[in-house]
């Protein structure tokens, strides 16, 4: 019997969610995603310390934010040696409410990849799914720079991303689950809210069904998983980005995997685009999404600051 990981590949594109490129080969993912927290985690490992030191040394005297982008792209280049598909590299979360700055950083990240001989088709620039980030992605997509809109928790975010014709969105399953579990407190019933009844799973399934129903070409990639059950409940989603620990669990099991997401038989006309006011109001009405988006930006910003500090220390050495 094939492993659950191999069975999942028959229904969904498997993506590895890690900056640790030495782990990738054993799971044979199609793509890989990174974020500031994952890169920070990787550069603190002894085996990656030389990579950070070499990159910093090669760009002494350059502004720190540019060195950061060189480090991110260096990891991306190593990842692309292992995966046959795409790598996602994230714009600094501290720019999440600045469209112009997001555009500048995204263009620089892509220019660094192109200078290394990597075609645009193999890179997704990750941008937070704020209104400002989504508008930056609209411009980037028109320029042929494909985007992965991250920190996505609300249906309004997914609709606005579709309006902007972004390549891919990453709705967060685990963080939605975390919020609902915390909000329910002692009333939370883990068994009753597992699998297809998990609130994070339900959010992604709703977005996926809406996209298929209205002929939206944007890819849906479920992200931020807490357990294998959440992954299996989204079998059939366009893509799923999975941590190495959960990939290992899927690889170790041969229990059957059954597709859970099935496309509608008929496609409806596209919906009218959301205005900025509608987007902001609908996001505001979703307490979970509002809180988790703000928290996610803050957490990524903290880790971006820690990466800055490591780079400063390497420059001073």
Angle (nearest 5°) at CA 28 between 259 and 2: 50
DSSP 165-204: T-SEEEEBHHHHHHHHHHHHGGG--TTTTSGGG-HHHHHH
Strand pairing report for 147-152 and 13-17: unpaired
- Is the backbone of residue 206 left (phi > 0), alpha (psi -120 to 50) or beta? alpha
Cβ neighbors of 174 (< 8 A, separation 6 or more) are 200, 224, 225, 226, 230
The residues that are catalytic are: 126
- Beta bridge mates, 128: 150
How far from each other are the two terminal CA atoms of the chain, in whole angstroms? 53
As a whole number of angstroms, the distance between CA 215 and CA 204 comes to: 16
Angle at alpha carbon of residue 51, lines to 46 and 52, rounded to 5°: 85
Closest CA to 159 of 99, 221, 214, 100: 214
Helix axes 36-43, 64-80, angle to 10 degrees: 80
3-class secondary-structure state, position 123: strand
Contacts of 68-72 with CB under 8 Å at 24 or more apart are 68/92, 68/304, 68/307, 68/308, 68/311, 69/105, 69/108, 69/109, 69/112, 70/112, 71/39, 71/43, 71/307, 71/311, 72/34, 72/39, 72/109
Answer for the pair 49, 71: CB distance below 8 angstroms, yes or no: no
């Amino acid at each position: 019997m094939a492993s659950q990981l191999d069975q999942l590949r028959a229904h969904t594109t498997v993506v590895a969610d890690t900056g640790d490129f030495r782990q990738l080969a054993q799971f044979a993912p199609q793509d890989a995603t990174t974020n500031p927290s994952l890169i920070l985690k990787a550069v603190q490992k002894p085996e990656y310390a030389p990579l950070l030191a070499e990159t910093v040394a090669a760009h002494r005297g350059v502004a720190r934010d540019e060195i950061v982008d060189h480090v991110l792209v260096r990891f991306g280049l190593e990842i692309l040696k292992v995966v046959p598909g795409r790598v996602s590299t994230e714009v600094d979360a501290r720019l999440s409410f600045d469209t112009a700055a997001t555009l500048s950083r995204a263009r620089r990240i892509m220019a660094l990849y192109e200078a290394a001989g990597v075609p645009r088709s193999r890179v997704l620039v990750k941008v937070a799914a704020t209104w400002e980030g989504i508008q930056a992605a609209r411009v980037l997509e028109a320029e042929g720079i494909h985007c992965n809109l991250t920190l996505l928790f609300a249906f309004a975010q997914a609709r606005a991303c579709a309006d902007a014709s972004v390549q891919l969105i990453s709705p967060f399953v685990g963080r939605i689950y975390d919020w609902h579990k915390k909000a329910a407190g002692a009333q939370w019933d883990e068994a009753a809210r597992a699998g297809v009844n998990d609130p994070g799973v339900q959010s992604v399934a709703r977005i996926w069904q809406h996209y298929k129903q209205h002929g939206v070409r944007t890819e849906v990639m479920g992200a931020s998983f807490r357990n294998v059950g959440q992954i299996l409940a989204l079998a059939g989603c366009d893509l799923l980005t999975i941590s190495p620990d959960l990939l290992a669990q899927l690889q170790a099991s041969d229990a059957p995997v059954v597709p859970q997401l099935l496309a509608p038989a008929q496609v409806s006309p596209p919906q009218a685009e959301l205005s900025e006011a509608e987007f902001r109001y609908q996001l505001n009405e979703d307490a979970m999404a509002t809180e988790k988006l703000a928290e996610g930006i803050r957490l990524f910003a903290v880790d971006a600051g820690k990466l800055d500090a490591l780079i400063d220390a390497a420059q001073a050495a």
